[in-house]
Structure 1
């Protein structure tokens, strides 16, 4: 008895990592411009995230969703990971969605075939990782986009064998310094 047939719902074309656009996103200089959703996607819009065949850089991912101004057609867009929340795994059932997820690799002869599918386990692993609260890191005033810390951040952080000390924690993330905190004199 094949357990894969029992686990695979009828009409399922594949699995995909999905997320919602955050209700509030920060933009502009120093991230002080608060917006609802993004320019192209409304808040809470469902975005389908195909496996990343290329790195658009700086935690930006290709995504497929319905545009803010036209809820009938799917569009492909590169979005910032920080503008997404509530990551999870969903089944793909629509040929139109398959066409958009495949992009230029779509084969009209096989309209129901995802060209680069997620495995359910791989997509769930990514969802679990991105649902854990993480905070951006600044070291001596400079942003480090590849570093993040849990919320709340640790008092000390080791990076490349160097111990950094938490200097400030606020809405813009955790600010670390190479200098230890001052000690109180009795």
Structure 2
């Protein structure tokens, strides 16, 4: 079995582990149909660095547990659940702070081992997640039904093959690409 951790030559002094991080998006959509645009989120300023520990529990579709410095108190780390759509610029960073380790560990933190991440990322796994989330992609709906785990690039293709069927782009709106199994009507052009 190959070693997944960094070798001694790659490990910077004081490194306690690797973590997936992201920045809070400059503009986030809120309100009905996402038409209200605001800077950052209620708890985090635009551009704030959020540390994302590996999933321990599922906070709901499209939501992640994150650790960052709160908008109102920039000195302490807080644990929050954030929408994945409110994050951008995913990357991997090293963890060097015991306070950050304590926040990332949450209730699993062991005071006897304050410098030990309880559920660490490997550098490669975190980088794979970052690469996947940095790809521009849109959720799809097929004949009015949501398919939250299927994504298409932005802009979406006019035709998509899914489960052996050819789907046709019906329209592209604020909630993603809407596909139909019915082909679009052929435009009638009168003969002159």
Same fold (TM over 0.5): yes
Specify the structure having the higher radius of gyration (Cα).
2
Hey, what does 1:152 align to over in structure 2?
155
The SS at the match of 2:9 is helix
Size of the alignment, in residue pairs? Answer: 184
Hey, what does 1:6 align to over in structure 2?
9
Whole-angstrom distance in 1 between the partners of 2:41 and 2:19: 22
Hey, what does 2:119 align to over in structure 1?
116
Q: How far has the Cα of 1:171 moved from its partner?
A: 4.0
Shifted more, 81-90 versus 49-58: the winner is 49-58
Whole-angstrom distance in 1 between the partners of 2:142 and 2:38: 27
Alignment of structure 1 residues 35-184 onto 2, 5 Å:
35-184=38-187
Runs (4+) of structure 1 exceeding 4 A deviation are none
Normalised by the length of structure 1, the TM-score is: 0.93
Hey, what does 2:28 align to over in structure 1?
25
Unmatched runs of 5 consecutive residues or more in structure 1? none
Unmatched runs of 5 consecutive residues or more in structure 2? 1-5
Q: How far has the Cα of 1:56 moved from its partner?
A: 1.6
Shifted more, 26-35 versus 15-24: the winner is 26-35
Q: How far has the Cα of 1:169 moved from its partner?
A: 2.1
Whole-angstrom distance in 2 between the partners of 1:34 and 1:142: 26
Whole-angstrom distance in 1 between the partners of 2:46 and 2:185: 43
Normalised by the length of structure 2, the TM-score is: 0.90
